Amino acid sequence: MERQKYYYVTVDTEEIREISIPDNDIEYEITANQNQLEELRELFMKKSKDGKDAAEYIGKPFDEWGADDKREEYQHHLIMIYRKLYELGTEKTKSKIKELGIIH
């Protein structure tokens, strides 16, 4: 079994660090091995791509065809990230994510 380490994740900046940033209320502490970290990085990449794809529609306000699909894909990957953080998270992280009310 691969060795797990503690990591600190910030969703909005998509950072995964081995060191916590003091007074950073938006980071989530997880324990993960390299395979689990790679899964999380892949979810971040998918969310970023979906966000860029959805942003293309901002410049085309009357061309909404496909925009809802892109927003839904972005939302789906964001929720998948929070589910993965919940799965790998410490009790404090799980509590923070529960408070958000985005996963059940």
pLDDT > 70? residue 90: yes
For residue 40, the model assigns a pLDDT of: 97
**Closest Cα to residue 11, out of 36, 32, 40?**
40
Read off the pLDDT band of 55 (50, 70, 90): low
Read off the pLDDT band of 70 (50, 70, 90): confident
Backbone angles phi, psi at 18, to 5 degrees: -90, -10
**Closest Cα to residue 47, out of 25, 27, 76, 68?**
76
Sequence ranges of the domains in the chain:
5-100
Q: What percentage of the chain reaches a pLDDT higher than 90?
A: 60
Q: What is the pLDDT of residues 33-47, one digit of tens each?
A: 999 999 999 999 998
Residue 37 burial (CB < 10 Å; 0-12/13-18/19+)?
middle
Please state the rounded mean pLDDT for residues 13-24.
91
Distance between CA atoms of 26 and 24, rounded to whole angstroms?
Answer: 6
